[in-house]
């Protein structure tokens, strides 16, 4: 650990846990930590593409907001978190990276009352090679979606705007998708409106208007980017309720996530949209997204030289 | 690891992860494992008291049922799991232990599609010193409860009968309890009926009848034991809906969990029950529970000699 640069196992990824840096293969959470045992943890994920963080400030701001909502108080401030993330990427040397930041509850020390307020919260982070939620091949043909029977956990139980690992509903939806020969599940709320899917927001193109659900969802940063791009392109965009019946009859659908950008779909619940390929508005938004990224839109360059300096 | 008995760090607890035994301080979950990152994991907890497992068969049977519900397929069969649990306790030498068994999703290997079906599931387990969810001091005065504003995650999102770490609602409830000067939160469902609290089932004594919620709850093994004890004692017991208003007007309340047995309450939402002490029926059930345990009720002796044999 004294000379991390000499350890080439960092090439598979680099992690930080509560003050210490290590190769990703060594990064682990104590089995007794409530961050694992009660999923008492919040997180965020920022992408690095061609050596640049995308909307780093937005991600760290949302991470802090999630921490406040769950009443986490780690010792690291926002500037330190940004420096930790940079250092994880720099240690790994990765140009395209999936960069996660977690804040875990910890666990009350032995003898303390068994209440989360008595635990010392801490930060973990890591950079690993870029992950595509939807593979480039599937992006080309368009994802096949279903609306799942399993309902999204409602906001009066777990606040979806505070990013969390409560994914059993989303995981169950993914098994429903598998059983029905599809790629991804969209989850509905108890009133039959679309919410989100496993790790992504969803957009519908209906009569040349782009719609995305207004409630029961993470306020995604790629979602926000899509809405900004719609503004640039003069495409009307609306944040509103989307009943399942409208979703199933949409002209086009696409998904938005950090780990994949703008990802078009071509089928929903067995219905083929358009020509069974990504629709033209989805493609236009996807192209614009990556073109803007390539031009440095909301980019923060990774400081790869930071490795030596911070050891 | 070759001679675990010589390593006295096992005294703090012993763990098993995917085929390997280790002192509890070394037991950790990879930060990238979906068991942590998506809380894609199920678990169970069995107690050891004075050298005996309590209802070991019931716990392992429920664990298997939870695994099936979440579509986990670890390599260990039920007999092997029992032997792993025994060995964890034997390694630790603990006479009173909290013994957990987890089944984690794992994570798809690099290059595999990003779907849980492509992950190799595995078992983790550990034995640590006995944990009291409610300290013996609080048990003596009776717990102070609240009904929380936060609602329990509904069964159409996450099946509560498959034991899981989706605790953000329960944790939030515990912060509500803290803010209101109480010990524990009871969570309601969206129709205003009581469900359960963080790690326990709840019982109400109303007009000499013992009631416990019928839906939205874990089918607790201590809960089942309480119902059996009511039968022994000739106390009418009923599994039914319990509206919050009835709960708040109950004559007595007690909680039931593996990590605490039968735990009486004395206040709810600021209202003092009886003489601000555990009620007589709660006390009778609590005494009977521990008296039966002492006589070997549903006991499986820990085989402490198994350590050497299995190395």
- If you search the block for the tokens 């420096």, which residue do you land on? A83
Confidence category of residue A308, pLDDT binned at 50, 70, 90: low
Confidence category of residue A111, pLDDT binned at 50, 70, 90: confident
Structure tokens at B57: 């068969």
Is the pLDDT score of A48 beyond 60? yes
* Element of type H or E holding B49: strand B41-49
Gap from A132 CA to chain B (nearest CA, Å): 8
- Characterise A98 by phi-psi region: left (phi > 0), alpha (psi -120 to 50), beta (else): beta
Is the pLDDT score of B141 beyond 50? yes
Q: How many CB pairs (< 8 A) connect A and B?
A: 150
Confidence category of residue A1, pLDDT binned at 50, 70, 90: very low
Write out chain B residues lying below 8 Å of A167, CB-based.
38-40
B28 vs A30: CB contact, 8 Å cut-off?
yes
Residue among B132, B128, B133, B130 nearest B25 (CA): B128
Q: What is the pLDDT of residue B1?
A: 38
Q: What is the pLDDT of residue B168?
A: 98
Strands B122-129 and B209-212: unpaired
Say how far apart CA A288 and CA A249 lie, in whole Å: 25
B32 vs A40: CB contact, 8 Å cut-off?
no
A171 vs B38: CB contact, 8 Å cut-off?
yes
Say how far apart CA A224 and CA B168 lie, in whole Å: 26
Is the pLDDT score of B2 beyond 50? no
**Low-confidence winner among A69-83, A177-191, B127-141, B239-253 (lowest mean pLDDT):** B127-141
- CA-CA-CA-CA torsion for B152, B155, B157, B161, nearest 10 degrees? 100
Structure tokens at B151: 């609602």
Average pLDDT of chain B is 95
Say how far apart CA A219 and CA A162 lie, in whole Å: 9
Q: What is the pLDDT of residue A155?
A: 96
CB A203 within 8 A of CB A255: yes
Residue B31: alpha-carbon gap to chain centroid:
24
Gap from A207 CA to chain B (nearest CA, Å): 32
CB B130 within 8 A of CB B49: yes
Q: pTM (2 decimals)?
A: 0.95
ipTM of the complex: 0.95
3-state secondary structure of B260: coil
Nearest CB partner across the interface for A71, out of B15, B153, B175 = B175
Q: What is the pLDDT of residue B308?
A: 60
List, for residues B193-246, the tens digit of each pLDDT value. Answer: 999 999 999 999 999 999 999 999 999 999 999 999 999 999 999 999 999 999
**Low-confidence winner among A160-169, A197-206, B107-116 (lowest mean pLDDT):** B107-116
Gap from B224 CA to chain A (nearest CA, Å): 24
Residue among A238, A240, A228, A242 nearest A208 (CA): A238
Q: What is the pLDDT of residue A4?
A: 46
List, for residues B78-111, the tens digit of each pLDDT value. Answer: 999 999 999 999 999 999 999 999 999 999 988 8
A126 vs B31: CB contact, 8 Å cut-off?
yes
Confidence category of residue A2, pLDDT binned at 50, 70, 90: very low
List, for residues A239-267, the tens digit of each pLDDT value. Answer: 999 999 999 999 999 999 999 999 999 99
Confidence category of residue A29, pLDDT binned at 50, 70, 90: very high
**Low-confidence winner among A196-205, B8-17, B175-184, B244-253 (lowest mean pLDDT):** B8-17
Say how far apart CA A36 and CA A25 lie, in whole Å: 18
CA of A179: which chain B residue's CA is closest? B117
Entry field: residues in chain B = 311
Gap from A157 CA to chain B (nearest CA, Å): 5
CA of A40: which chain B residue's CA is closest? B168
Instruction: Name the percent of chain A lying above pLDDT 70.
Output: 96
Confidence category of residue A163, pLDDT binned at 50, 70, 90: very high
* Angle (deg, nearest 10), helices B56-69 and B221-233: 130
Is the pLDDT score of A42 beyond 70? yes
Q: What is the pLDDT of residue A295?
A: 96
Residue among B129, B196, B66 nearest A32 (CA): B129
Say how far apart CA B87 and CA B16 lie, in whole Å: 9
What residues are paired with A300 via a beta bridge?
Answer: A53
List CB contacts of B234: < 8 A, sequence separation 6 or more: none
Instruction: Name the percent of chain A lying above pLDDT 90.
Output: 91
Q: What angle do CA B281, B282, B286 make, to 5 degrees?
A: 115
Is the pLDDT score of A310 beyond 90? no
B39 vs A39: CB contact, 8 Å cut-off?
yes
List CB contacts of A295: < 8 A, sequence separation 6 or more: none
Most trustworthy range by pLDDT among A7-16, A128-137, B129-138, B279-288? B279-288
Nearest CB partner across the interface for B166, out of A15, A31, A168 = A168
CB B269 within 8 A of CB B231: no
List, for residues B297-311, the tens digit of each pLDDT value. Answer: 999 999 999 886 544
* Angle (deg, nearest 10), helices B78-92 and B56-69: 120
B39 vs A170: CB contact, 8 Å cut-off?
no
Is the pLDDT score of A24 beyond 90? yes
Q: What is the pLDDT of residue A9?
A: 81
Average pLDDT of chain A is 95
Which one of A20, A114, A126 makes the best mutation probe of the B interface by having the most chain B beta carbons within 10 Å? A114
CA of B36: which chain A residue's CA is closest? A36
In this prediction, residues B248-263 reach a mean pLDDT of 96
């Amino acid at each position: 650990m004294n000379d991390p640069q000499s350890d080439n196992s960092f090439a598979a990824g680099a992690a930080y846990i509560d003050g210490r840096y290590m190769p990703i293969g060594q990064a682990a959470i104590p089995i007794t930590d409530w961050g694992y045992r009660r999923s008492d943890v919040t997180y965020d994920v920022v992408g690095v593409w061609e050596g640049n963080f995308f909307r780093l400030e937005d991600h760290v701001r949302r991470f802090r907001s999630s921490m406040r909502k769950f009443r986490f108080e780690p010792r690291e401030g926002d500037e330190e978190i940004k420096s930790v993330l940079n250092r994880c990427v720099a240690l790994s040397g990765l140009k395209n990276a999936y960069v996660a930041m977690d804040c875990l509850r910890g666990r009350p020390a032995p003898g303390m009352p068994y209440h989360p307020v008595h635990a010392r919260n801490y930060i973990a982070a890591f950079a690993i090679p870029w992950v595509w939620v939807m593979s480039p091949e599937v992006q080309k043909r368009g994802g096949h979606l279903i609306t799942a029977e399993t309902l999204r956990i409602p906001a009066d139980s777990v606040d979806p705007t505070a990013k969390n690992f409560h994914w059993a509903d989303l995981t169950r939806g993914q098994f429903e998708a598998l059983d029905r020969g599809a790629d991804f599940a969209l989850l509905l709320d108890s009133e039959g409106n679309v919410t989100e899917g496993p790790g992504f927001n969803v957009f519908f193109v209906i009569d040349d208007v782009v719609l995305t659900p207004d409630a029961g969802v993470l306020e995604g940063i790629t979602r926000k980017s899509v809405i900004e791009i719609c503004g640039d392109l003069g495409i009307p965009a609306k944040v509103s309720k989307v009943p399942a019946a409208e979703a199933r009859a949409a002209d086009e659908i696409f998904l938005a996530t950090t780990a994949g950008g703008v990802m078009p779909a071509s089928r929903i619940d067995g219905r083929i949209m358009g020509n069974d390929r990504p629709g033209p508005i989805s493609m236009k938004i996807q192209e614009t997204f990556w073109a803007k990224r390539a031009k440095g839109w909301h980019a923060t360059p990774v400081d790869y030289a930071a490795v030596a300096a911070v050891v």
